[in-house]
Amino acid sequence: MSLVNNIDFLRRLPKLNGFSGLGAYAQGATDAVPTPLVETSEFGSNPGALKMFSFVPAQLARSPALVVVLHGCGQTAASYDLGAGWSTLAEHYGFALLMPEQQSANNGNTCFNWFNPDDIARGSGEASSIRQMIGHMAVTHKIDPRRIHVTGLSAGGAMASVMLATYPDVFASGAIIAGLPFGVANDLREALQTMMQGSALSAPELGDRVRKASNHNGDWPKISVWHGSADRTVVPANADAIVRQWLDLHGLPPTAMSKAMVDGYPREVWWNADGQTLVESYTITDMAHGTPLGLAGNDQRYGVEGAFLIEAGISSSYHIASFFGLTDQVRQPHIAPTGVPRERADTISMTIPVPAAEPEPVAGRRSSRPRTPRSNRVNVSRVITRALTAAGLMK
């Protein structure tokens, strides 16, 4: 089916069956599944008319963290939690879990409306509903405001981009799986075009979309980007655009500072002058549209295969939780021992550039998250240590 025919088909969906979303990659409603998630009906004015589900383990860690997880089209909070294994991770590592859920009345394919201007502005629509849920969780469970994170798949990944852009003062970090950058679509036609072709916007143009979404004047959240190289639903060019958007916000160069193979897949990393990773990108070779699953670094399996939940030999949920700083141990890129045949060895390619000067702060309201004092001098030892750690050459 051609792009024009796809757009025409999607435009007629509201007249045909009440659908009003991106039907291109939804597979219908998911049957009810057993779930530890609990629904909360009263959490605010809920302008986006979303449902709130959460999971809080019996033993919360000290200064507990909160992870917001956004499902993809055709999924529910419970089905995505079962598939991606987030409540199991929350139980193991003592963090709280928030899983907003779309309603078919808002979008017939239960996609978050990441392309609708009324739903993606600070203080408006679905973005505001999710923010209200976070506020409820923070007060009820005494969440550490410095440890709030967001992740999502596909339309949920695009909505994670929305939350990071519109509420950068709320989130410490985010992870986007098979999603899209913020601000690249304002209606269904633009959304479908970007999904299929990517965005031609430059890094500064993409960064400006985020800068204009709020009056933020603090540190930007750090971000992890995941995408299958064989994704034909949301093309991999969108992952590149997300990376460009956040490199521009962080004032980082386009060339990765470290390249390594993690569980057989390439990972690129960028860090700041203090050696803190701010942007990372995983390319899951030959994987189609979905969340990659596999054994985690602790030899545990989180999640089960299903629609858009793909066995790939790498646990994205576990690696993302590690990136958020929630796990007891951080999985390091595997270095094959001497004598392993070349075709079986994981490889390392690394450069250690001199970090660029810290970018000028953006004018406007300052972040509510505490900022770490920065020295004007580059800590060369720390940068080198960080590079070696990223490459798996030291712990």
**Residues that are catalytic:** 154
| Selection from 220, 85, 79, 66 nearest residue 135 by Cα | 66
Q: What φ, ψ does residue 27 adopt, rounded to 5°? A: -120, 30
Classify residue 122 by its DSSP letter. T
C-alpha span between 154 and 124 (Å, rounded): 21
C-alpha distance from residue 271 to each of 124, 153, 178 (Å): 33, 24, 23
* The two three-digit tokens of residue 50, written as one number: 């979303």
* The two three-digit tokens of residue 358, written as one number: 């810290």
| Selection from 300, 296, 303 nearest residue 332 by Cα | 296
C-alpha span between 133 and 150 (Å, rounded): 13
C-alpha span between 164 and 216 (Å, rounded): 11
What own/partner pairs with CB < 8 Å and gap ≥ 24 does 263-271 have?
A: 263/294, 263/313, 263/314, 263/331, 263/334, 264/313, 264/314, 264/346, 265/312, 265/314, 267/333, 268/243, 269/390, 271/355, 271/383, 271/386, 271/390
Angle at 100 between CA 170 and CA 236, to 5 degrees: 80
C-alpha span between 87 and 164 (Å, rounded): 22
Query: 3-state class of 288 per DSSP?
Result: coil
Q: In sequence order, what are the residues at sequence separation of 6 or more whose Cβ sits closer than 8 angstroms to the Cβ of residue 263?
A: 294, 313, 314, 331, 334
Contact of 129 with 48, CB cutoff 8 Å: yes
